[in-house]
Structure formats: structure tokens, C-alpha cells
Amino acid sequence: MIGTRNIRLLNSAECALFDIDGVLVNVRKSYYLAIKKSAEFIMKSMGGKKLHTLPQVTDTLILKFKQTGGFNNEIDITYAIILALMSMPYIDWTSNKKDFLFTVAQNANETGISSVEDYLSSLSTLSRIKKIKQDLVYPAPVGKSPLATVFDELFYGPTLFRMQHDIEPRYYHGKPLIDNDEIVIRKETVNLISEKLQGSIALISGRSKLAAQYSLEPIFDMFDQNASVFLEDESRKHWKPDPYSIIKAMTSLGAKTSLYVGDSVEDLYMTRKAEKEMDVKILFIGVYGCSVQPQDTIRKFRENNVALIIENVNCLSELIKIGTDHHSQ
């Protein structure tokens, strides 16, 4: 049941804000694959023969990092994995590498890479962790950090990489992994929501605007570009779960009530922080259909008291119809 309170919030919403990855687009063959390939590339270049055999970095492991609330950015996840594996030979650890990576993810939290660095520093020598960080030059930007550069070259491919960063690719010249993105949302869904909200719909994504436009090309212009926020193009301090992007979007749209459709704990934390800072009402709608472990994602949402959980963003059409019918009674 949708619940009377949620129907009221659904009907009173003045705008709708959408995450892209895992909501509008399935990224398991693009961003997730970029994590695996980037980690493998960097480990080979840094570890030589001794460490170049990378254990299986699974979609489930990536999900575990994302569920901490501090890893909305995929390069951060790649960094955490590499840092853990490069630290491991110097740690008195009896489990295998796969188990160790899951343990690292379980000890991570909303502070993201800082929590991983702190945990690994408690097990290894601080000087060893500092040396690995210096080698990765992270979180320095593309062009300075080999990790960030490799990741974006793989994800964007040569042409888009040049457009995004205005530098030549150094490591990868093959097919862009962004081409593996799969659009989930249907155009009629966007039309229905836009019509209900008189065009007040916007995107809030960890992506760059270039990456969002490329993957959402058929529907990109249906979203308000002045209100949309693309966090890859913004300062790192504004990344999720910081509420900056919601504050910017709702202020631009002049809205005091909103729907936010997301697939992660970061999205949820961000909406709740924005509600407190702005004194607004945001109905968070959790999407689980693109998750590698849908039931686990549902469980996480329920643990965090998410009242509206849907399999697919296109289910919004039915929710809106229910809300409209209820309002007309």
C-alpha cells in the first residue's frame, strides 16, 4: 500500500529529481566494468608480477561499498579496492583476498575513502598506506592521478575523453565503456511526470553533463538543464551525500516539496540532509531493479525507513495515476 501520507506528498510535489545511474540507466556493464578494468590495469602497473593477478572484483562487492553511503563515485570504489589489495601483503591476515575486500567494505562508512584509509591504517603501517596513496595520486583529478585518468579513458573512450578533459588519452584507445549503458526509463514515463509537474523535472547525478547527455540523448532535453546538477563537473566537496545538489535544484525550480528517485543510501542521506537544511519536504522513492542484489537493496531501504520502494523507475507512472485518482475522489 502506498499510504495516505505518501499519496499527499506525491500529489503536493512541485518537482521531481532523478538520479541517473541505477535509476534511469543500468550501469553494471559500463561503470561497474570500468571499476574492474581500472583496478586490474593499475594493479598490474604498480604491482608487477607479484601482485598483478587481481582477485575477482564482483558486482556484489561494488554494491557493498555503495551501500555504506560514502561511495557514490566509482573511482573512489576503485581506489579503495586497490589500496586494500596493495596493503594486504603487509597485513597479518588469514582469509583470502576476496574475503578481505568484503571486510574492508563492511568497515567503510558514510565518510567514504577516509574510512577505508583509517581502517587499513589500523591494520598496516601508516607509512605503507601513505606510499600507496602517493603512487595513486588520488583524489587528484584526471591528468594528475593515473587512477582517475585510466578510469575516465576506459569509461569515456578517446573521443569523449578529449571532449571532457581537453587532453589526449595516454592509456586506452579502445571502445568506450559508456556505450554499454542501458536506458531504463521510457519516454512516456518522462512525459507523464513532466506533464504532471509542468516541466519541473531535473537530473542530479554523479556524472558529468557530457556523460549524462551522451547516454540519455533521446530524453535529455526533457529535463530542466538549469536546475540539473552534474557532480563530476562540480567541486568534490559537493558530491553525494552532501545536500548541495538538491538545494541547488529545488532553489532553481522554486520548489518547497519534491520527489527524489534514487537507488542508493547516498541518495537517501542526501535528501534527508536537504530536508533539514532547507526546511522542505522530499518524498524519497527507492529503486532496486538495477541492483545486483535486489532483495538486499530492498532490505537496506526498509532498514532506513524508506516508505516507497519500486522495482523500476517506470513504476512511477502507476504511482502517479493512483495519486491522481485518490486526489479526484
What is the share, in percent, of the chain residues with pLDDT greater than 90? 77
How far is residue 77's CA from residue 40's CA, in Å, rounded to a whole number?
13
Per DSSP, the three-state class of 307 is coil
Distance CA 231, CA 266 (A): 13
Is the confidence at residue 279, as pLDDT, over 70? yes
User: 97 and 134: one domain?
Assistant: yes
Mean pLDDT of the 314-324 span: 78
Q: Which of 179, 214, 244 represents a domain boundary (last residue)?
A: 179
- pLDDT tens digits for 230-247? 999 999 999 999 999 999
Q: Which of 179, 196, 215 is the last residue of a domain?
A: 179
- pLDDT per residue over 49-59, tens digit each? 444 456 678 99
DSSP state of 70: S
Dihedral sign, CA of 141, 144, 150, 155? positive
Give the whole-angstrom CA distance, residue 119 versus residue 108.
Answer: 8
Q: Confidence band (pLDDT; 50, 70, 90) for 3?
A: low
pLDDT of residue 318: 84
Helix ranges, the chain (H): 4-12, 31-51, 59-66, 74-87, 97-106, 113-123, 126-136, 146-165, 187-196, 209-215, 244-253, 265-278, 294-303, 316-328
86 and 219 housed in the same domain: no
Output the pLDDT for position 130: 85
8 A C-beta contact, residue 68 and residue 266: no
| Mean predicted lDDT score pLDDT of the chain | 90
Q: Who contacts 293 (Cβ-Cβ below 8 Å, separation ≥6)?
A: 60, 63
Q: pLDDT at residue 24 above 50?
A: yes
The pLDDT of residue 122 is: 87
Range of the domain at 73: 31-179
User: Of the candidates 136, 158, 179, which is a domain's last residue?
Assistant: 179
274's enclosing H/E stretch is helix 265-278
Residue-level pLDDT at 1: 47
| 36 and 172 belong to one structural domain | yes
Question: Confidence band (pLDDT; 50, 70, 90) for 207?
Answer: very high
* Residue 305's CATH number: 3.40.50.1000
